[in-house]
Chains A and B, each alone.
Chain A
Amino acid sequence: MAFDVPHAGGTVPHAIEVTGLRKRYGDIVALDDVGFTVGPGELFGFVGSNGAGKTTTMRIMLGVLAADAGEVRFDGTPIGRETRARIGYMPEERGLYPKMTVRDQLIYLARLHGLATNDAHAAAENWIRRLGLADRRDDEIQKLSLGNQQRVQLAAALVHDPALLVLDEPFSGLDPVAVDVMSEVLREKAAHGVPVVFSSHQLALVEGLCDRVGIIRDGAMVAVGSIDELTADATTRLRVSVESAPGWADGLEGVRVVSANGGATLLELAPDVDEQAVLRAAMAAGRVTELSRHRPTLAELFRNVVVEGNAQ
């Protein structure tokens, strides 16, 4: 007997490809050739300044907005109404029916996404329990705290067991506990093969959570890749601490002192400079207590490509 290992949660891995999206509003170019791919089980962080085009891109993916050009493919075929029903979506502007109870709301949304009545009930109860809303299930949404409304919003995106998650700013407005719950749920969905696309301004969170990121600026993608890939081509920075030898690195060839703070000096090396040579120079100057390769954070990377890009 062939033994098929079912994917946990019953989901099958899927991939989504966004290619060549363009969108204009009158004279304003909102999107200019936006494209990226999110593979099965991949957590994709979508970052950019306000108004850069993240929400527009996501709304086009959901078919809420029509693109002027470009396409969104799901498992290789252009995305259509049937496929969109399998996306879990959290729009930037949060909202549910204020006068519906948590449970009725989730059942209704599950059924709208094509679940049978019984499955919809079971799924609603499951997410209510998972997200700690059990004692709130028969309350109207408008009577919940903002944090709990956010949890219901996440449940609404997950209740139909989506094959793809598109979440616009899922972490905004969450307390630290809810951030952990949200992160855990996203990791779990990804582990089941679901591609997860989410936007966020909390870059540290994106860096910790995502497999790959895409940075968008003024409607165009300026960087797409894993954080390692994106930071690899950045110039090498070394952090060196040398006891009682101020100015030891001044004048070293191909080395720029970015900052000197007490004994610790942050250096930026030109591409052809050997870090062993720098170490030897440091040891010659005094007792070396620390030497580490300084990896730029996503925030620094973002600042480089977005802020400095804007300055040009």
Chain B
Amino acid sequence: MTSAAAVRLVAQRELVLRLRTKWFLIGTLVIIAVMAGYVLLQMSVFGDEDRSRIGFAGQATGLSERVATASAELDIDVDTTTVTDVAAAKAQLSDGALDAVVTGTAAEMRVLVKDGLNPRLRAVLTGLSRQEVLTAKLAEAGVPDPARVMAEANAAQVTVTAIEPNGTEDGQRLAIGAIMAFLLFMSINAYGTLVAQGVVEEKASRVVEILLATIRPWQLLLGKIIGIGLVGLIQLVAIAAAGIALALAADVLTLSGVAVGTLVWGVVWYLLGFFLYAALFAGSGALVSRQEDAQSVLTPVTMVLVVGFLAGFNVMIADADGTAARVLSLVPLLSPILMPGRIAAGDVAAWESALAIGLTLAAIALVTYLGGRIYQNAVLHTGSRMKLAAALRG
């Protein structure tokens, strides 16, 4: 059997067996449900504030489309309906089903509201009214094509240059970055631990001896890492995609480009981070022969992840482009969590991204060599916990 076939078989077993477990499905659904709850909460707090329902009656009915277009230009959400019975419309105003009822002509609009008109909506309606009057006056003054003049006038725009281009979106971007960093931390930690547990399970049940009589240790290890890594990737993408879709649908999130970009970078960094930590977790797991002893050897690896995550996360929240965040996001063991967070929340130069990926790849090569060596030397060692130095020497 070729190496590729052996690795694929091992990976396939891990993937199928773990995707089939109840906890994978339940865990993923629970996380998505929690996220949906969070999005709904955001929606009920901030959601409908800006949405206006306007009823048009009589002559004003023809204005509904123009009002909708003008509102959209100003980023105001409106629903327009036609009202036939003004008395009924008043009742709807009272109970909040409608925010405004427009009657009259374009030049002389009358707006009926419950207690006050949203100032931005008022500006839209006033603007339309003024345009209408102006068009009429232009025609009166003998201008040949007043509609064209108005179109030209409307097309005139100011040029805006922002000193901090993404300033207004900082809040959302930071939230996306923080959530991504957290998801990556959770995924790498959870699935890295699964790799270690898988290694210990094979040692504890002794099945490893049968496996190694037919395939090589590195094939078994690589297959295991790929299989479990894929399970984690599927979960990460499912959660992140569901989260983005929910948040976009609920209008809590408006930066779909940033969100999708972050997800793509998140996948890249998940793969880098998982491979980096998986070899560490596998090597550590191989040192012990019983699940009971696993915790003691996994703690150091988990600590690096947790401390790195907490320190890096706080630095990133404080200032995603500050010196501390920039430096920490280049440190190989921290990059996988901080880089994608910074890419979402701050402005990461291409060279920073490239350097972080390069350093992480180098770290993966080193850690995989050491972890693989420990694994090969320790995986058939049974009984007491094996000393790290002995496992490295072989």
Contact = CB atoms under 8 A, between A and B. Distances in A.
Interface of A: 59, 62-65, 81, 84-85, 87, 89, 91, 93-100, 104, 108-109, 111-114, 156
A93 B13 contact: no
Among A59, A87, A97, A104, residue most surrounded by chain B Cβ atoms (within 10 Å): A97
Among all A-B residue pairs, the 7 with the closest Cβ atoms: A95-B206, A93-B206, A95-B205, A62-B213, A91-B209, A95-B207, A114-B1
B17 A63 contact: no
Contacts of A104: 17
A301 B370 CA distance: 50
B391 to A, nearest CB: 16
Nearest to A142: B205
Contacts of B1: 85, 112-114
Contact of A95 (B6, B209, B212, B216): B209
B201 interface: yes
Nearest to B216: A81
B377 to A, nearest CB: 12
B382 interface: yes
The A contact surface, by secondary structure, is: loop
Contacts of A100: 17
A99 B17 CA distance: 9
| Tier of interface size on chain B | 20 to 34
Nearest to A61: B213
Given A81-B216, A89-B209, A98-B205, 14 more contacts: A62-B213, A64-B213, A84-B213, A84-B214, A89-B213, A91-B209, A91-B213, A95-B205, A97-B202, A97-B205, A104-B17, A108-B13, A112-B211, A113-B214
B110 to A, nearest CB: 74
17 contacts: A59-B209, A64-B209, A64-B212, A84-B214, A87-B213, A89-B209, A93-B209, A93-B382, A95-B206, A95-B208, A95-B210, A96-B207, A97-B205, A97-B207, A109-B210, A112-B1, A156-B210
B380 interface: yes
Contacts of A99: 17
Contacts of A64: 209, 212-213, 380
Nearest to A113: B214
A111 B1 CA distance: 9
A113 B17 CA distance: 19
A111 B9 contact: yes
Contacts of B17: 99-100, 104
B389 to A, nearest CB: 16
B19 interface: no
Nearest to A63: B213
Contacts of B206: 91, 93-95
Contacts of B382: 93
B215 interface: yes
A96 B213 contact: no
Nearest to B2: A114
Contacts of A89: 209-210, 213
A113 B380 CA distance: 20
A59 B382 CA distance: 14
A113 B214 CA distance: 6
A98 B213 contact: no
